[in-house]
Chain A
Amino acid sequence: MLTALFIVPLVAGVLALVVPRVVRRVLMPITGLVHVAIMVWAWIVRPPPELDGWIALDPVGQIFLSIASVLFLATSLYAAGYLAEEDPGWRDDIESPLPFINAPEAVFASCFLFFLASMTVVTLAQHFSLMWIAIEATTLATAPLLYFHRHKRSLEATWKYLVLCSVGIALALIGTFFIAVSGQTAGGHHIPLLLSELTRTGVMLEPTWLHTGFVFILVGYGTKMGLVPLHSWLPDAHSEAPSPVSALLSGALLNCACLGIWRTLQVYASAGQVGAARELLVGFGVMSVVVAAVFMVNQRDYKRLLAYSSVEHMGVIALGMGLGGPAAFAALLYAIHHSLVKSALFLLSGNILRVFKTKSAAEVRGALRTSPWTGGLWCAGMFAITGTPPFGLFPAKFAILQHAFAHGYVVIGIVCLLFFAIIFIGLTGTGLAMAQGEPPPALGGATRPQWLLVLPPAFLLTLSLVLGSYLPAPVHEVLTAAGATIEGAR
């Protein structure tokens, strides 16, 4: 049944190329529904490993799978509405004099579904090679999505994305090689690259090769995760992609890359010498928070603002992973809430872009008037993403900082607090100004809400709100089990 999780979107992706338009738009949400159904079934049944143990559902994978599944359902519903609103012909570009056209809708739908399939494989893969192939496949599936609006800026973003992420993925492959070598001891004995085998026999791994391997994987998958200084493709890609794609890229794909690092950390932890790896993660994490904050102040493009906010949040997740202990648990909780809220915000930014026809935050005023639903949700999302209670990011962020202070990372804790404050001011200041005030007279009065474009982000924000105040016992259990996997012997 686990295999069905990625076979279904794969088949649907092929079908999307041939079926008529009406069916195609319904096909995406239906696949999303089936995917969520199997995912929920997996929560209840806890299916055994499949394909010789290459595919299995462990606690960490389960969390990231659930995020991807729920986000896909929401964004696919949104995408159906989004595609219906898109003008299929040549049209004027809002930022340059050249007109542009969309890529064929069949390509969009198909790649969108392949994207889900590849992310699913990343979360289920237990073999390092399979995980690597799947992460590579996500790049392949998303590149045409980035270039959906065929203008110069999206082409530039796609090119940057391809070159940097391909180099990153190549470095991650080298890291995977080194981990394989670390498991090859004298006498011709070798440990297979299966996660269960590697963590079971962790102490037998050769430390130098393992460490070199970890560094390469951290840099490689770190590029894809958007950690500073390897993040330079991210603001371009996430701001130029169509909004439903941005939502999935920020909410689900960054997590997949993070999972790659997490898995390697698991092996490292089982080898009993995780200290050096932790320092690296903390360093990358703090650097990401600081640099993202600097770029968020005075950021005029609101989609780029959201993209830099993703860099910041990935930094916090890396920080939590680096600190370990309760902070690892909190990092996972943080990842869940960041995905829900950030996807909602990207979807809403698409609605704002549709009404105001500009990406400049200074030119958007009175979103609450023109589209009350979108404007209201946008304000709520702004508070949620900056870690304001009662949304779920607050307790997670709090737990990570608390752990930092409690374990001697006082300077890091203070630096983070300071930059969180800067980010709070930058984000809410820009975001609220967009919602309030008088809309430009040319826009006229309030428009009728398009429910397919409003309900998915509303659903995601509500989910974050609910999970922020009440975490069901099974979820808590899985989160605890997942957080413990990178504990190892201290």
Chain B
Amino acid sequence: MNTVLFEIVLVVVMIADIALLGTSRIPACIRIVAAQGITLGLLPVVVDHAERPHIIALAAITVVLRGFGFPWLLSRSLRMLGVPREIHPPLGYAMSTVLGVVILGYCFWLGARFEVTGSGMTRLVLPVALATILIGLMITIVRRHALMQVIGYLALENGIYALGVGLSIEEQLIVELGVLLDVFVGVFVMGIALHHLHHEIERPDVDLLDELKH
């Protein structure tokens, strides 16, 4: 295992988490989540799984999909929608960045307490993965822009991918297939929904979709 590269990967993932929270322009967010996806794709190559060819193949697919496929889809949807930034998010950018740092700290504290049977690598990946999952979840919940919800969901997926690699689960193939399918469903179907959202109403804010009351 290449320790230096490994740590760089984790640091990039963390920076991407925080940057996502503080960025208002959606094209920038798309690029950030793509960069995070590409970096994570390197993770199996950096750690011991490198000798298993199917892992490398799936990592390559991950990089292509998350680094290029989904960003392209998202940018296309964005061009159709024509609103490059979120207006008045319910939770301000500064506030959500601070919250993100708190989540990160909490996850490191949590990670230190977990009994891990795997290698020393797990101890480092676990907090970063958990933080990425939580931050992705937070973006999906607090942002009102439909595209930002998809981006949050992608970050959540990135976190799950990191978790799958980090926990060094023996049935790796299943883990990666599962994540790929998850991303597939999340983005493609949401993309289709967005397409109709565009035709249906002028602005992409999901706030406009508030006709159904309890």
Contacts and interface: CB of A to CB of B under 8 A. Distances in A.
A163 B143 CA distance: 12
B197 A155 contact: yes
A163 B151 CA distance: 12
A224 B159 CA distance: 21
Given A143-B193, A166-B185, A157 B212 contact: yes
A96 B201 CA distance: 14
Q: Size range of the interface on A?
A: 35 or more
Contact of B156 (A129, A147, A159, A167): A167
A58 interface: no
A210 to B, nearest CB: 12
Interface stretch (B19-27, B76-84, B93-101, B163-171): B163-171
Interface in B25-66: none
A162 B179 contact: no
Contacts of A157: 212
Contacts of B118: 181, 184
B142 interface: no
Contact of A173 (B149, B179, B190, B212): B179
B152 to A, nearest CB: 9
Contact of B193 (A158, A174, A186, A190): A158
Interface in A133-173: 133, 136, 139-140, 143, 147, 150, 152-153, 155-160, 162-163, 166-167, 169-170, 173
Interface in A296-348: none
Contacts of A193: 171, 174
Interface in A84-135: 96, 129, 132-133
Given A163-B149, A167-B140, A177 B190 contact: no
B115 A208 contact: yes
Contacts of B149: 163
B189 A186 contact: no
A266 to B, nearest CB: 19
A159 B207 CA distance: 12
Nearest to A129: B174
A236 B212 CA distance: 7
Nearest to A193: B171
Contact of A177 (B140, B175, B186): B175
Contacts of B206: 156, 159
A51 to B, nearest CB: 14
Contacts of A3: none
A155 B212 CA distance: 11
Interface string B182-208: 100110011001001100110000100
Contact of B169 (A147, A167, A184, A240): A184
Contact of B178 (A133, A178, A235): A133
Interface in A404-463: none
Nearest to B197: A155
B197 A190 contact: no
Interface residues of B, number: 40
B117 A166 contact: no
A173 B186 contact: no
A120 to B, nearest CB: 18
A363 interface: no
Contacts of A389: none
B16 interface: no
Contact of A129 (B117, B171, B196, B212): B171
Given A143-B193, A156-B211, A180 B170 contact: yes
A295 B117 contact: no
A185 B185 contact: no
B209 A139 contact: no
B169 A180 contact: yes
Given A167-B156, A169-B182, A174 B212 contact: no
A140 B171 contact: no
B128 interface: no
Contacts of A136: 181-182, 185
B209 A155 contact: yes
Contacts of B160: 170, 173-174, 177
A173 B160 CA distance: 8
A162 B190 contact: yes
Nearest to B166: A177
A275 interface: no
B153 interface: yes
A158 B195 CA distance: 13
B169 to A, nearest CB: 5
A166 B193 contact: no
Nearest to A182: B117
A150 B196 contact: yes
Nearest to A237: B212
A132 B146 contact: no
Instruction: Choose among A132, A153, A181, A295 the residue with the greatest number of B CB atoms under 10 Å from its CB.
Output: A181
Interface of A: 96, 129, 132-133, 136, 139-140, 143, 147, 150, 152-153, 155-160, 162-163, 166-167, 169-170, 173-174, 176-178, 180-181, 184-186, 190, 192-193, 206, 208, 235-236, 240, 295
Per CB-CB distance, the 3 closest pairs between chain A and chain B, nearest first, are: A156-B209, A129-B174, A190-B170
Interface of B: 115, 117-118, 133, 137, 140, 146, 149, 153, 156-157, 160, 163-164, 167, 169-171, 174-175, 177-179, 181-182, 185-186, 189-190, 193, 196-197, 200-201, 206, 209-212, 214
10 contacts: A150-B196, A156-B209, A159-B206, A160-B209, A166-B182, A167-B137, A180-B175, A192-B171, A193-B171, A206-B117
Given A147-B193, A170-B156, 5 more contacts: A132-B178, A133-B181, A152-B209, A170-B157, A170-B182
